[in-house]
Structure 1
């Protein structure tokens, strides 16, 4: 990890650099703002707010992608509040123990990594679920426990992600078939929502136990079994008929219906019927059977 120490107290800066180097950090020292603005990248910048007669804000702007810890002699708006608003990450007051500085560096580094991972996960989830649009959600009208019945689990996943996004809540995600006694105890965790996916794999007794365990939580279950009847509020989310994965086994009727819906505007009837291996008359009959209207 590369560290830049910006301080005109050269003996203090050298002492910090030596102690950090002893535990594996690579350190450079800048005695003034000009030296700190060189076109180099650092993981951490230790910035003194007592650089006599120098404006240190350009250093914060230059290294805003790094962890910036202010080295302060006293706490004030000028040494802490304003620099933090400008983009500094934290501060430590002189004199300080090197162990305390390392603790702050490690904590801020872990926090930054978690933020980057969170953004990556959110981007991945949004992309993975973008095909699974659900109805508009009004959190105020929802009652819990809630059972979501759907023929594609991804629709229930999308519903839960959108709900927690709107309410700025957190949820614990559990796949029913992986539910253990330890995980059942975790239902008392700090998360506002508990989402148990694929509840069709649980028997009635297991579901009743879950309902009892989560009385103080907002419990959401999803099931592809539309005949599952439990004493909860329930909603149904039907999959878009034109959407199924290549790894799913579809009926012949579902497949033909899918192809007609997807390609009838791309190919003329002669070509479409030929690709389906049926006559034009049969194609017309299929449209009538499936109640598919051809766009003109």
Structure 2
């Protein structure tokens, strides 16, 4: 990592930099805030002394608040620790300190920042994947609960929305994974277990599973008809279903899906040609499926 050291005690700064370089980092040292602020480089970690005589170090915090800022302090006070932390610094270490403790803090915050960015990526991806999926206005239901759906993403969207509404952690335990049932026993207190793919279980396994989750905070889902009285059920169906690659469709299901989703992208002549039917047949299928083309 590239590390910026702002410290007027030059021998201390050089000692810190030497040991960090030995650990594989790149270091730049500056004794003044003005010199540090003049650098166009991007740094991953800023080691900022709060004992810079007559210098305002807050511009450094403001500029690098999206990176890791560790304060190096001689004593703890509002001026050296409390106020800089409120301004955007992440932690402090008191002089004199062991270089191993400084490296531990750097590694800790670097790992934390990577985890933050990974979570942001996953949240962005999920938000995009589950966008525009209609859900009930009233999400809250008693658990355990079965979601019966023709579109797996519909159930996924409901599970994430319910956990967010209840402000409870969600544990993903798909029933196609044999380890999921064992993991259910180790579920953390207050968490909701989301266990989709009920349709993948054998009949005897389904009965055992339903008995196992009785009275527990479990949300499960199936893409098959579910008529058991053992579990409260919510039905979520989508006309805009995108079929799974592993799913075998009927011809009618496929044609209905293509007409519904592509009739506004292609003229009837081209759409009927792609389906291998006549324009008259296309009109008849629209009538059969109750699909109306927007003018």
Question: Which range, TM-score by smaller chain?
Answer: 0.7 to 0.9
2:86 pairs with 1:85: yes
1:211 maps to which residue? 213
Contact 1:7 1:48 in 2 (8 A): yes
Q: Deviation at 1:288?
A: 2.8
Partner of 1:236, secondary structure, is strand
Moved more, 119-128 or 16-25: 16-25
Looking at structure 2, the residues matched to 294 and 82 of structure 1 have their Cα atoms a distance apart, in angstroms, of 63
Distance 1:172 1:194 in 2: 5
Match of 1:293 in 2: 292
Aligned to 2:55: 54
Deviations 1:23-77 (A, max 9, x none): 3332221111022111112221110111010010111122223210011122222
The aligned counterpart of 2:23 is 23
The verdict on how the C-alpha distance between 1:65 and 1:267 changes in structure 2, with shifts beyond 3 A counting, is closer
What are the superposed Cα offsets for residues 255-294 of structure 1, whole Å, 9 maximum, x if unpaired? 2223332344455656655554444544443233222234
Aligned 8 A contact 1:19 1:98 in 2: yes
Q: Aligned to 2:172, what secondary structure does the other structure show?
A: strand
Aligned residue number for residue 154 of structure 2: 155
Displacement of 1:137 after TM fit?
A: 4.3
TM-score of the superposed pair, with normalisation by structure 1: 0.87
Q: Judge which range, 203-212 or 57-66, deviates more.
A: 203-212
How many angstroms apart in 1 are the aligned matches of 2:20 and 2:4? 11
Q: Distance in 1 between matches of 2:263 and 2:75?
A: 73
Task: Report the count of equivalent residues.
Answer: 290
CA distance in 1, matches of 2:273, 2:182: 57
Structure 1, 104-113 or 263-272: larger mean CA deviation: 263-272
How far off is 1:235 after superposition?
0.3
Q: Which residue matches 2:101?
A: 100
Unaligned regions of 5+ residues in structure 1, if any?
A: none
* CA shift for structure 1 position 146: 1.1
**Structure 1 residue 165 displacement after superposition:** 2.9
Q: Which residue of 2 aligns with 1:168?
A: 167
Q: Does the 8 A contact of 2:198 with 2:206 survive in 1?
A: no
Aligned-residue CA RMSD (Å)? 2.5
Distance in 2 of aligned mates of 1:109 and 1:146? 40
Residue by residue, what CA displacement relative to the aligned partner does 1:176-196 show, whole Å, maximum 9, x if unpaired? Answer: 021325423223x24621100
Q: Is the 8 A contact 2:150 2:241 kept in 1?
A: no
Unaligned stretches of 5+ residues in structure 2: none
